[in-house]
């Protein structure tokens, strides 16, 4: 809310000041910019409701049974969650064993000088190591960091940023290879992506 007040004050200072003819186009540009910023702030509050109403209305216009598609998607989401839970539990147990055995502390001690040189906190080491290897493993590391450091700590924010912005690199091409192998067996060509 403070930024709105400063923006309004800025707008008022531009509109009330005596401007020379040379300065007038710049003042007009600032007025237009201030108006655009206020309009975008007003529209940003409507973005999610507009998206949530646009897609069902568009699907209805295309003749799609919206409720049955929603139920089918919810069933698929539930099945996906059931398939992921064992892997997530296994990763949480493996991470706990790795930490409790002292191997993580030894690795932190070993890599501490390199991490300090790169200005990476030692506590980020599990996330940095796990994220390229496994998505569910890095989710387990993130949930463990949230429990350990709290949801509002800088370490948790950094881990969440790594989780959200990085991809599992070593296992990334496996689905593409299986799609290509399947298309070779059937005699059809499949495009990547």
- pLDDT for 40 equals 86
Q: Tokens for 77?
A: 């989401």
Three-state DSSP state, 37: helix
Residues 191 and 113 grouped into a single domain: yes
- pLDDT for 10 equals 62
Low-confidence spans in the chain with pLDDT less than 50 = 1-2, 20, 172-186, 188-193
In a domain? residue 28: yes
Which of 123, 118, 109, 120 shows the shortest CA–CA distance to 156?
Answer: 123
Residues 28 and 121 grouped into a single domain: no
In a domain? residue 51: no
Read off the pTM.
0.46
- pLDDT for 160 equals 92
Residues 27 and 113 grouped into a single domain: no
In a domain? residue 96: yes
In a domain? residue 65: no
- pLDDT for 25 equals 66
Count of domains for the chain = 2
Residues 17 and 111 grouped into a single domain: no
Residues 89 and 182 grouped into a single domain: yes
Q: Which domain holds residue 174?
A: 85-193
**CA gap 27, 13 in Å, rounded:** 10
Determine the straight-line distance between the first and last CA of the chain, rounded to whole angstroms.
43
Residues 90 and 179 grouped into a single domain: yes
Q: 92: burial class by Cβ within 10 Å (0-12, 13-18, 19+)?
A: middle
Residues 18 and 93 grouped into a single domain: no
- pLDDT for 184 equals 45
Residues 36 and 95 grouped into a single domain: no
- pLDDT for 8 equals 62
In a domain? residue 76: no
Residues 97 and 187 grouped into a single domain: yes
Q: Which residue has the tokens 């216009």?
A: 61
**CA gap 169, 167 in Å, rounded:** 6
Residues 99 and 192 grouped into a single domain: yes
């Amino acid at each position: 809310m403070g930024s709105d007040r400063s923006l309004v004050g800025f707008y008022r200072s531009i509109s009330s000041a005596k401007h020379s003819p040379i300065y007038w186009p710049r003042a007009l540009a600032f007025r237009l910019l201030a108006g655009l910023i206020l309009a975008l702030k007003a529209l940003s509050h409507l973005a999610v409701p507009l998206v949530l109403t646009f897609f069902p209305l568009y699907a209805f216009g295309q003749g799609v049974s919206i409720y049955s598609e929603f139920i089918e998607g919810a069933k698929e989401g539930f099945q996906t969650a059931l398939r992921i839970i064992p892997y997530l539990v296994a990763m949480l147990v493996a991470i706990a064993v790795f930490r409790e055995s002292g191997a993580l502390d030894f690795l932190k001690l070993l890599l501490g000088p390199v991490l300090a040189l790169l200005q990476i906190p030692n506590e980020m080491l599990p996330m940095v190591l796990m994220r390229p290897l496994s998505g569910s493993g890095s989710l387990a590391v993130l949930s463990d960091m949230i429990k350990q450091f709290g949801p509002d700590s800088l370490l948790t924010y950094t881990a969440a940023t790594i989780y959200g912005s990085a991809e599992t690199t070593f296992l990334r091409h496996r689905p593409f290879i299986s799609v290509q192998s399947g298309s070779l067996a059937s005699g059809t060509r499949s495009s990547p992506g």
